[in-house]
Each structure stands twice: as C-alpha cells, then as structure tokens.
C-alpha cells in the first residue's frame, strides 16, 4: 500500500432519511475512486430500488441479495458480483423490501450488516460502502450499527435539511439504545449551484450552525451535466480520464473522507 496512506478497514454508509439527494451517486463515486486509489472495495446495495446495482448494469433479480445471506455471512463470497478485480458489489432487488420483517428482532438489527462486513474484512476487503434506502427501516438501523463513518448528503431544500436533522437524531438514539459507539458523522453538501441564492445561504447556515459546522465536510458537490451522462452510460465519472467538475468534486470528497488529503495523487499512484 501507499506509504503514509491509511488503508485500515472501514465501513462508510451514505444515509439521509430524505430521498433524491444523491446518496447512490456518492456511494458509487466514492467506491470507484477509492478503488483507483488502492482500496479493495465492496459495495453493499441495501436499497430495494437497487440504484447502485443498476448503475453498474448489475441486477440482483437472479442473484442472492442481502436478505438471502445475512444469517449466513460466509455466503457473501458467492453472492458478490465483481465489477473489476478487487471491486465488487452485493446487488439488491425488490426482495430486500422484506428486510423489516426479516430483521424484526433487535439483536438481528444490531448484527446483520456488521456480520456481513466482518466477513468482507476476513476476505481482504479494506473498504465497504453501503447505499441505504431513504427510510428508517431495519436495514438502515443495522447499517448504523455497523458503520464507522456515516456520510449524510444534503441539498439546499427544506426537506433535505429536515432529513439531516432526523438522520443525526436517529443515529444518536439507535447507538444509545444498542450501547454502541457512535459512528463518525460527516455532512456532504450535494447539488450545489453557485448561481442560486438558496445554495449559498443553506451552505452558509450549515457552516455557522453550532452542531453541524463540526460535521460539514470542507468540500461540496456542484451540479454537473456529467453525472446524468455517466449514469446513462452505466458508469461513474471515474470510468474515463475526461475532466469535469463532478470528477474533481468527488475526487476531493474521496480524499477528504479517506484521509488522503495530505498526499499527492502521484504519491497515491494516480495520474488523473
């Protein structure tokens, strides 16, 4: 591994109880760039809409998904689908919509996702990225119990900020209820548009807020036409070397959340 870079095992979840705020885009972009930087990466797609899976043109309809394997974590080995060597995904399907009933017991909520993550660590993965649904279901509770870092993408709309407040509150109460150490919480300002007063004012308010200013990442994701283009092509903005604001922003996000900002791209073995 690269000298001076921390490649210790981490579980990072993207979560906001408000939908449509780029959780999936953040998940797949972070996973792709982290892989390019040298992490062995597994994505856990826990959203029954399977957006992260479909982003890589992978379907869980004919493959095992989380609900099929959580009781026997060793089955993750055969359930993972390789995107590239050392970069894999556990796809999702509508079957994961039944997780609320499958994980009805608190003990199962506490251990289901962490059990899979521990198995992935045994397999040599150094980074697990979890894409969650925008509702406080059992899978989200279990994800909170397993995560080292929870990144909350937010936008400038009032529903997004309300989702942030609810998400932070629920993380604290769930960790307290289970007697667990609270994961590190990060806020990622997404869909930033410098031409809109609302974007500027919302970002400014978060930066001044006594609680959230400590959690706000010093980078943000600008609106970009490259993101929908990449999604349409079933790839991320890191699939090519083409420069774009989206590529630049998600690279900064990746470096920030993985603690790589003190190292140059050259030191990390990256040309572009």
Lowest mean pLDDT among 21-25, 75-79, 118-122, 214-218: 21-25
User: In angstroms, how far apart are the furthest CA atoms of the chain?
Assistant: 50
Mean pLDDT throughout 231-250? 88
**Residue 133 backbone phi and psi in degrees, to 5:** -75, 160
To the nearest 5 percent, what fractions of the chain are helix, strand and coil?
Answer: 45, 15, 40
pTM above 0.85, yes or no: yes
Report the first-to-last Cα separation within the chain, whole angstroms: 19
Judged against a pLDDT cut of 60, whether residue 73 lies above it is answered with yes
Average the pLDDT over 80-99 and give the result.
96
pLDDT digits (tens, 9 = 90+) for 182-227: 999 999 998 878 777 888 888 888 889 888 999 999 998 998 888 8
pLDDT(267) > 60: no
31 CB-near residues (< 8 Å, 6+ apart): 41, 43, 87, 127, 129
Give the chain's mean pLDDT. Answer: 90
């Amino acid at each position: 591994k690269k000298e001076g870079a921390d490649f210790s095992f981490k579980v990072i979840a993207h979560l906001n109880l408000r939908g449509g705020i780029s959780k999936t885009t953040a998940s797949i972009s972070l996973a792709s760039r982290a892989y390019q930087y040298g992490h062995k990466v597994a994505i856990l797609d826990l959203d029954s809409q399977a957006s992260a899976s479909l982003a890589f043109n992978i379907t869980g309809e004919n493959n095992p998904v989380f609900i099929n394997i959580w009781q026997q974590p060793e089955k993750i080995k055969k359930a993972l689908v390789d995107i590239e060597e050392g970069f894999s995904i556990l796809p999702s399907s509508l079957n994961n919509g039944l997780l609320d009933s499958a994980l009805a017991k608190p003990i199962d909520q506490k251990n289901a996702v962490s059990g899979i993550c521990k198995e992935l660590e045994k397999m040599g993965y150094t980074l697990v990225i979890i894409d969650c649904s925008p509702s406080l279901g059992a899978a989200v509770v279990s994800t909170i119990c397993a995560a080292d870092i929870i990144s909350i993408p937010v936008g400038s709309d009032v529903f997004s900020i309300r989702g942030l407040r609810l998400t932070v509150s629920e993380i604290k109460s769930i960790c307290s209820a289970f007697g667990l150490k609270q994961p590190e919480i990060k806020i990622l300002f997404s869909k930033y548009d410098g031409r809109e007063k609302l974007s500027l004012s919302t970002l400014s308010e978060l930066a001044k807020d006594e609680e959230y200013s400590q959690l706000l990442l010093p980078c943000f994701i600008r609106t970009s036409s490259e993101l929908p283009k990449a999604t349409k092509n079933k790839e991320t903005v890191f699939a090519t070397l083409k420069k774009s604001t989206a590529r630049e922003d998600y690279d900064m996000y990746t470096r920030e959340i993985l603690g790589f900002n003190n190292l140059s791209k050259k030191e990390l073995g990256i040309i572009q």
